[in-house]
Structure 1
Amino acid sequence: MTSADSIKKMREIATCSICMNLMTHPVSIKCGHSYCHLCILDFYNKLRLMQPTLKILDCPLCRGPFDMKSLRHNRELENIIEVIEEMEKMDHEMVCEEHGEKLHLFCEEEGQLICWRCERAAQHKGHATALVEDVFQGYKEKLQCAVTKLSQLQEECVIQMLFVKTQIADWKELIEMQRQKVKSEFKNLQTFLHEEEKCYLWRLEKEEEQMLRRMRDSEAKVEQKSNELESHILKLEAKCQGSVQNLLQDVKQTLSKSLAVKLETPENIALEIHTTCNVSELYFDVKKALRCHQVSVTLDPSTAHSDLFLSEDRRQVTRGYSQENLESSSKRFTAFPCVLGSEGFTSGRHFFEVDVGEGTDWDLGVCRENVQRGTDMKQEPEFGFWTIRLCKENKYVALTSPLTSLHLSEQPLVVGVFIDYEAGLVSFYNMSTGSHIFTFPKASFSDTLLPFFQVYQHSPLFLPIPD
């Protein structure tokens, strides 16, 4: 390795990655990297302008965390830098690696520094060349113009960042106003409206998260572009402050990259809330609100226990004596007189009605598609069941663990079952009066949910056709 190569290698090690010059009063941080003392202070102050409470910073090179209290004066590196500067004074002019001659000429076609012997070589034959002193000022002015352009772009970038931050603040304020409005309107309503409130607030929160995610992505892109511009500017400024040879080295490529930089305008996201509800309409017609989500449910004969008989249209089920020669099915309930609906739910809000009439016993609700169907079946949410039951002597219970007693003022002749898949809610209503019966604690659904029915003697169940 030549003396010039050694000096170059040492300079690279001792160069500050912020200002791209030999370090002045070098300091080391927690991760071991070193920077000029003034550069790291300036880096800290710029970040504090955007985040006043910032205490922990990320290393510009490795992103390792550090605080300003961890700065340590690197005396050994400072001594090495002094040696480098002394060596460069002794050999301050770059020389041609091939011929060992001083690089006094600049080849316009190649955009390279060359010596007088390179000029006469075949590689540069016929090329326009000039003394470095003659072209230095012109290229320096071009580089300074590039710095000016990039600085203007960075200023625009800062304005765009402020715009995005303002959008985020305005959006969060609108969301909060809408949240307070929803809360105040639901405050004095009955249990049904309370459950509706939770559903709407959940959807509003999801909408807020989705919109904030879009705007924060936009903010991150602008911030990244700002950092790239700042780094580019620092490199160009360092090049302008360096030696003649350093400035002209690869200058055309540098200018080309600088002039190609463009700024994209961040997405202007409309701050419009889509999650809205008319509370007064819900309050005055609960049944109408539920039936907006009504689906047609029929019974699945391949799941029916052998004691159950289905009508031809598969909308009525009664319990009788065990049937022989039934078609074999892995879906069939074998231990208890149960049957499932054919229609499954994997997302959204759904409602169906069950005409229980004046039956003395019944179980109904929803269950996961993959529940146990033999003697191991346990009708609890933990095992994939969300159901309520009418026991003898008109006792109503929710099949939670332990059971939850339900005190109903009137006997329901038609029971409504409401599912909000994303919100994890299963609710039951007396459709004779439009009153709420019970809502299971919030669950997290991931499998298909199916309508579930357990049928007892002299208590047939009927599924009305939706209006």
Structure 2
Amino acid sequence: MAAASNPLSEDQFLCSIFLDVFTDPVSTPCGHNFCKTCIIEHWKSSYRYQCPLCKKVFNTRPELHVNTFITEMVIQFRQSAQQKASSSRSEQQVSEPGDVPCDVCTGTKLKALKSCLVCLASYCETHLEPHLTVSGLKRHQLINAVENLEGRMCTKHDKPLELFCKTDQTCVCMLCTILDHKAHSVVPLIEEYAGKKAELGKTDADIQKMIQKRRLKIQEIKHSVDLSEKDADREISEGVQVFTALMEAVERGLNELIKTIEEKQRMTQKQAEDFIKELEQEISELKKRSTEVEQLSRSEDHLHLLQSVQSLNTHHPTPTKDWTEVSVCPSSYEGTVERAVAQLEETLSEEMKKLLPEFELKRVQQYAVDVTLDPDTAHPYIILSHGGKQVKHGDVKKNLPDYPGRFSFHTYVLGKQSFTSGRSYFEVQVQGKPYWNLGVARESIDRKGGITLSPQIGCWSIWLRDGKEYKALDAPPVLLCLRSWPQKVGVFVHYEKGLVSFYDINAATHIYSFTHCSFTDKLFPFFGPCLNNAGTNSAPLIICPVNRTY
């Protein structure tokens, strides 16, 4: 009953030496069980007789006794396993087109699970059992079922292709190495297999790297498309605003033109109506007089006629206005459209001057970065605020470590943030300072000696001197004529495009741009507060948060 409730398990009958079901099980004096052949071979390969399990050492080779109990149990287990295999045969999958059939099955062929490279045959689950249990067959090399096992035989010598000729890069049999490939470099298939597998692993790793690079490139391209789409949407939005404003200006110009022409026409029409009214009034008076003259001419009373004629001339004189030279000239509209168009051109020009810089400024402000001042670069005369957002001249030289990056000749300071790619923007308040320098400088700019600021020494900046002379420190310097004095200056850098631009924030106008620059080094925000100049220049340069509502 116990056997029925506890079916035999293969783990109970495994030899601990070769880890398979016991064959001729024997017991050692210490009570452990092994296959007879396994324990004998184990002791032959060892310099002493020791139990592989408990490590007990025997002075002489101990006598081995057949374990009849385990032998009977092993027989029962094998019979049970065979019955189980037999019963499971009906459950195995029948070979279908495309499957590898079992070479042993008769009648209905079952699907093979493994192929033996030694037997050159493929086996279903049932017929594979001997290769899993018989010690001699267990040494055979099994692989997943494959077709055309004959292709694994040497066609010339009808022997298994067990070796690989590195010289000819082909698989060979044992006889080939003696006859056709003598003196060639020949290795076992498994050795070449390991090498080739390692090469394939490296190749696959290289391929995976290439795939990853291409995936990253796809992401980069998609990101570029997304940026392009955003830029396109923004440009369309700004374009709609600009053209809407221009169309409104055109519509106002057209309305003014129509109003001017209609006003001229109304004046002409009123003049004509006044003339016609006056003429119709004179016609009415003349008709009256004609009637009186006609009635009087019929009179035969001499005295009455004479008296009446005198009275008629006195009280109802004939109208005397000469209408010969009176006329209504059609209004002249010549040049009206031309003048309106000229006025429109001027209006549009003013609108564009107003709109385009505003949109340009809004466009660059979206690339705002948070800039703080780097105290390790500040000249000893310079004073920085606690938060690193303000800088001014202190008039007193501080005792500071002479770091390699610190300016020791000119009173300059750099920002902590570097620009190495893409677009960057920051704003600085210069209000109340008649002297200042502002821009960007490359990391390698000379910090210890006297320099003249220009792109050649690695600085792209503008300055104000004496509260009125603005210059772009290009090569040569460019005098800037500004409509108003900037209170706040925006600095924009496009690294790849080689562009540095400056903007008057409050006026929303462009000040100056350095173009076609070649950037290969890190760029840093560059500040020069200049001397206090007896207190007239004591206001600090202030790095401001960017307000995109201008």
Q: Which has the higher contact order (CA 8 A, sep 6+)?
A: 1
Which of the five TM-score ranges fits, normalised by the shorter chain?
0.3 to 0.5
* TM-score normalised by L of structure 1: 0.42
* TM-score normalised by L of structure 2: 0.36
Larger radius of gyration: 2
